Amino acid sequence: MTTTDLPFPGLRGVPTATAPATRKDFTSDQEVRWCPGCGDYAILAAVQGFLPELGIRRENIVFVSGIGCSSRFPYYLNTYGVHGIHGRAPAIATGLATARPDLSVWVVTGDGDGLSIGGNHLLHALRRNVNLKILLFNNRIYGLTKGQYSPTSEVGKVTKSTPLGSLDTPFNPVSLALGAEASFVARTIDSDRAHLTSVLRAAVTHRGAALVEIYQNCNIYNDGAFDLLKDKDTRDEAVIRLEHGQPIRFGRDGELGVVRDPATGSLRIARVDEVGADAVLVHDAHAADPTTAFALSRLADPQTLRHSPIGIFRLVERPAYDDLARDQLDAARAADGPGDLAELLRGTDTWVVGDEA
Amino acid sequence: MTKQVLQVDRVIIRFAGDSGDGMQLAGDRFTQETAAFGNDLSTLPNFPAEIRAPAGTLPGVSSFQIHFADHDILTPGDAPDVLIAMNPAALKANLPELPRGGTIIVDSDEFTPRNLARVGYTSNPLEDGSLDGYQLHSLPLTTRTTEAIKAALGDKLGGLSRKEATRAKNMYALGLVSWLYNRPTETTLSFIRSKFARNPAVRDANIAAFQAGWNYGETAEAFAVSYQVRPAQMKAGRYRNISGNLALAYGLIAGAQRAGLKLFLGSYPITPASDVLHELSKHKRFGVITFQAEDEIAGVGAALGASFGGALGVTTTSGPGLSLKTETIGLAVALELPLVVCDIQRAGPSTGMPTKAEQADLLQAMFGRNGEAPVPVVAPASPSDCFDTAIEAIRIAVTYRTPVILLSDGYLANGSEPWRIPDIAELPTIDPNFATEPNHETESGERVFWPYKRDPETLARPWAIPGTPGLEHRIGGLEKGDGHGNISYDPANHDLMVRTRQAKVDAIARSIPPLEVDDPTNDARVLVLGWGSTYGPIGAACRTLRQLGIPVAQAHLRHLNPFPPDLGEVLRRYERVLVPEMNLGQLAMLLRARYLVDVVSYNRVRGLPFTAAELVDAITEVVGSLDDDATAGRVDPSRNGHADRSGSGQRMARTRGEDPTTP
């Protein structure tokens, strides 16, 4: 059986398809039941459109999800899928990916599923660097339970459960992932199909855990949460596009840039004509030290998301947990041969009564 | 001088000391010597949860009891014949259980005013006459150990500090007791040589201490007699000694291999289950993957994910961990995938007493999930039975595509007994029977895969694993339509699916053998029914009563859900059914609910196994109640069962437990 190698090291060990596939091959027969206008439709279309590009067998792809609107995702893909329980998808996927090197395993989660009830599992999947592609749909609200604030909602958010405004400080999922030792951290937006697809491509290429935060609009309970980043009048100034090796400039005419404050070492936004083009930080996603990636993640205003960087914050090579776990089995067998059950049961301290059968 | 050797048929020895004194190791080595000699044996370690409780205090006492005999025995014994107490705390904690006339060996060096005061002795029991009723051997074990090492390694103790040297005193004590019972010494000497191979000074110090202890027994006048316990008559075969957790780990490896499945353990450390994780982590050559998860939930979640991928997912835990895994076990019920959940029960509720045994998770295993979520439950009866029960759990999980809960406990986990090593070919084979082809034809004649189209015999659904072309499907915790498995909120379908999942678990009973009832004279009126680790003490109590001419029947349940198909009939055969449990009557509740039989509960929740003696009392009381009823003309043959007498707590004259002979 042929398995893929380049251009997707992340898929090493997964058998290649015998014939080219199309979007239709990845569409299940199930009626999609998200609310009309939900950002999830755009993400589903992008993923269905992108999967054929991988050139791997459909039956070797598994989508694992938790609970929430986004976690219905696996039902709509004609691959193998597990709709799990709330927050536990990374745990289920870790077992699956470790047991099966020939699978491409994806996790679909949301801001409530992945950062609240399942926060612990997400952190540890990233820390271990399990070869999972984790799509975190962030709509800054609980949708399926009809509109309570989520761990990414802005402070003061008025919802059914917070009539006087929410009190707790939101998580920044990118900052969180970087703090959890993630080897691949990216952010994209549901409505920007080209950017979303490019980030997915990079995530699959990466071997190890890839966290992709996707800003996703809930048009029922939190409509317009990302309008500042999408509106053509504001987006150029509100979104910072990261490209590895490129100066980090944005604004309608690239008039703004990210510079390092020599006094504190932290990052700030400046007018390029004031600081000079040479002062603009050149993005290095491959930096071994995550400090600058973290500083970039802090540029976004936690309330409005103004100055949100999108793209790949961090992409470093680090051995994947599941590969290492399997390597240990291989090494043990190579050193001492496969296990002999009879020998194991016999042990070393035995005695015989009568005639040994 | 020539010393006298007395033949005895059984002995119970308890090694007790500070938790840092190496008593578990000494007990373990004595056990190996005894196993090698060919006695039947049973052991009970008992240690504090604290890794190093404050030295010299009562909570810091750790002990190891071994019962060995020239005949088949079932328990580690009620009360010791010999107590080795390495300090005043060990003496004080264990003396109440030593019968008068018993032998005490103490390290007199530790009986300092300060150590005595720490545990509340106002005078030295070695000198104040309070131990006159016992055979006391008061020896300066610490000093003698140091002297022996000096003699062997020189005045510099081979470079060891004085403190390091005195740590070998457990080996001195072991040497002495090994002499006293004529144990073979080679297993201990080779163990010391291999354990300390990299540290020759420590190795030689331990060997010197062990041999000095042996020689002291041989030469000192204090020990005029040594004892011999002849090898036991056992079924022919090759034997080893095995603990419950080790047998469980081996059973999981063997069962997975017999099913041709990769074993995946997802686990989180918890007492007293961690040893299974440790053991399985050693066996990577067998393709065993062990995943130490971030929490109990992730442990079982990863195991379930591995099962979806076609491996055998297993998780090991204890009571509090089972609580955390509850939701995932419910998911496994809905997904209908194989999953083995091993709960090594401990005393609860909450954190409870982590190192103490209890059987109080039965109802949690049965019902601890939302919705109608039936899960098969099995329980081993003895340490070595953990092996067979693990294989049985795997058989049920794989055959019926269901989570299975195996209920062991801390007493089985750490206790040990001789195990006749099975022939691999005699182990059951288990067929995962993976789906490889579409299994359904649509109205339009298209061949498709239906993930919930069931085997008509077992009601098991097909297990189609990723990588199988054409069988792509999505499953989840939402209710599924019968057959096709797509999400369904249809009321009639839900009713059908709930009943079908229950029917599938009920149908497992057809694959369970009839309940074995031990009723040698066939005239018993009382049946004692147990489950799990109470098998030993119940069996010992029944034997004692039969020797006294009181007929009593015994049966023991390995399958708790579903029950063996003939259980109801067995219960109705007896006028009274006594159910001893280390809980407040959980099996009794299930039996009453299921069979409308008014069983009599006997319950103790002290964190310790039953003694055979207390069960003799309890059974005698039930037997006596029948006689009372007969006298008063109150026997109604059409009605069996009796009011719950567990609360009466009436103690009869103490009967010594498992068979009456003492050395």
Please report, for the domain that includes residue B279, its CATH number. Answer: 3.40.50.970
Q: Are residues B270 and B416 in the same domain?
A: yes
pLDDT digits (tens, 9 = 90+) for B559-607: 999 999 999 999 999 999 999 999 999 999 999 999 999 999 999 999 9
Q: Are residues B292 and B329 in the same domain?
A: yes
Task: Sort B69 into a burial class: Cβ within 10 Å, 0-12 / 13-18 / 19+.
Answer: buried
Mean pLDDT of chain B: 93
Q: What is the ipTM of this complex?
A: 0.97
Residue B651 has pLDDT above 80, yes or no: no
Rounded alpha-carbon distances, angstroms, from residue B381 to A193, B224, B516, B658: 61, 40, 13, 17
User: Is residue B663 domain-resident?
Assistant: no
3-state secondary structure at position A228: helix
* CATH at B547: 3.40.50.920
As a whole number, mean pLDDT of residues B469-480 equals 97
**Which residue range is the domain that position B168 belongs to?**
4-228
Burial B98-114 (b: 16+ CB within 10 A, else e): beeebbbbbbbbbbeee
Structure tokens at B307: 């099962």
As a whole number, mean pLDDT of residues A222-228 equals 97
Q: Are residues B503 and B640 in the same domain?
A: no
Q: Are residues B340 and B476 in the same domain?
A: no
Compute the nearest-CA separation of B490 from chain A (Å). 16
pLDDT classification of B631: cutoffs 50, 70, 90: low
Domain's final residue, options B228, B256, B290: B228
Domain's final residue, options B391, B426, B461: B426
3-state secondary structure at position B104: strand
Q: Which chain B residues are Cβ-neighbours of A67 within 8 angstroms?
A: 477
| B62/B22 Cα distance (integer angstroms) | 9
pLDDT digits (tens, 9 = 90+) for B66-89: 999 999 899 999 999 999 999 999
Q: Which residue has the tokens 């008014």?
A: B598
User: Is residue B660 domain-resident?
Assistant: no
Q: Which residue has the tokens 């497992």?
A: B508
| B500/B400 Cα distance (integer angstroms) | 12
pLDDT, residue B630, reads 67
Structure tokens at B69: 């005999």
Determine phi and psi for B545, rounding to 5 degrees: -65, -40
Compute the nearest-CA separation of A208 from chain B (Å). 17
Chain B interface, best mutation among A80, A127, A328, by max B CB count within 10 A: A80
pLDDT, residue B255, reads 98
Q: Which chain B residues are Cβ-neighbours of A99 within 8 angstroms?
A: 262, 264, 289, 305-306, 309-311
Are A209 and A129 a contacting pair, CB within 8 Å? yes
Q: Are residues B15 and B135 in the same domain?
A: yes
As a whole number, mean pLDDT of residues A102-115 equals 98
As a whole number, mean pLDDT of residues A91-110 equals 98
Q: Are residues B354 and B296 in the same domain?
A: yes
pLDDT digits (tens, 9 = 90+) for A4-60: 555 688 999 999 999 999 999 999 999 999 999 999 999 999 999 999 999 999 999
User: Using CB atoms, which residue from B36, B311, B472 is nearest to A99?
Assistant: B311
Which is more confidently placed, B19 or B352?
A: B352
Residue B263 has pLDDT above 90, yes or no: yes
pLDDT, residue A7, reads 67
Structure tokens at A135: 């799509």
DSSP code string of B566-578: THHHHHHTSSEEE
DSSP code string of A254-278: S-EEEEE-TTT--EEEEEHHHH-GG
Q: Residue by residue, what is the 3-state secondary structure of B485-540?
A: CCECCCHHHHHHHHHHHHHHHHHHHHHCCCCCEECCCCCCCEEEEEEHHHHHHHHH
User: Is residue B100 domain-resident?
Assistant: yes
pLDDT, residue B20, reads 85
The bridge status of strand B576-581 relative to strand B526-531 is: parallel
Residue B28 has pLDDT above 70, yes or no: yes
Worst-scoring range by mean pLDDT, A285-299, B156-170, B575-589?
B156-170
pLDDT classification of B49: cutoffs 50, 70, 90: confident
As a whole number of angstroms, the longest Cα–Cα distance in chain A is 96
Structure tokens at B80: 């010791």
User: Is residue B354 domain-resident?
Assistant: yes
Q: Are residues B553 and B499 in the same domain?
A: no
3-state secondary structure at position A27: strand
What is the DSSP-derived secondary structure letter of residue A116?
Answer: I
Residue B94 has pLDDT above 60, yes or no: yes
User: Is residue B547 domain-resident?
Assistant: yes
pLDDT digits (tens, 9 = 90+) for B390-438: 999 999 999 999 999 999 999 999 999 999 999 999 999 999 999 999 9
Q: Are residues B112 and B213 in the same domain?
A: yes
pLDDT digits (tens, 9 = 90+) for B219-230: 988 888 889 999
CA trace torsion A22, A23, A25, A27 (10° rounding) = 180
Q: Are residues B326 and B252 in the same domain?
A: yes
pLDDT digits (tens, 9 = 90+) for B3-13: 788 899 999 99
Domain's final residue, options B228, B249, B280: B228
Residue A319 has pLDDT above 90, yes or no: yes
Sequence-distant (6+) residues with CB within 8 A of A229 are A189, A215, A235, A238, A239, A305, A308
User: Using CB atoms, which residue from B231, B236, B423 is nearest to A355?
Assistant: B236
User: Is residue B662 domain-resident?
Assistant: no
pLDDT classification of B528: cutoffs 50, 70, 90: very high
Task: Sort A167 into a burial class: Cβ within 10 Å, 0-12 / 13-18 / 19+.
Answer: exposed
| A175/A130 Cα distance (integer angstroms) | 19
As a whole number, mean pLDDT of residues B485-503 equals 98
The number of domains in chain B is 4
Compute the nearest-CA separation of B488 from chain A (Å). 12
Structure tokens at B165: 């040297």
Structure tokens at B649: 């707590």
Q: Are residues B223 and B352 in the same domain?
A: no
Compute the nearest-CA separation of A62 from chain B (Å). 7
User: Is residue B234 domain-resident?
Assistant: no
pLDDT, residue B637, reads 44
In chain A, the residue whose alpha carbon lies closest to the alpha carbon of B234 is A353
Pairwise CB contact (< 8 Å): A88 & B298: yes
Mean pLDDT of chain A: 96
Q: Which chain B residues are Cβ-neighbours of A333 within 8 angstroms?
A: 284-285, 287
**For chains A and B, what is the number of CB pairs under 8 angstroms?**
221
Pairwise CB contact (< 8 Å): B291 & A84: no
What is the DSSP-derived secondary structure letter of residue B95?
Answer: G
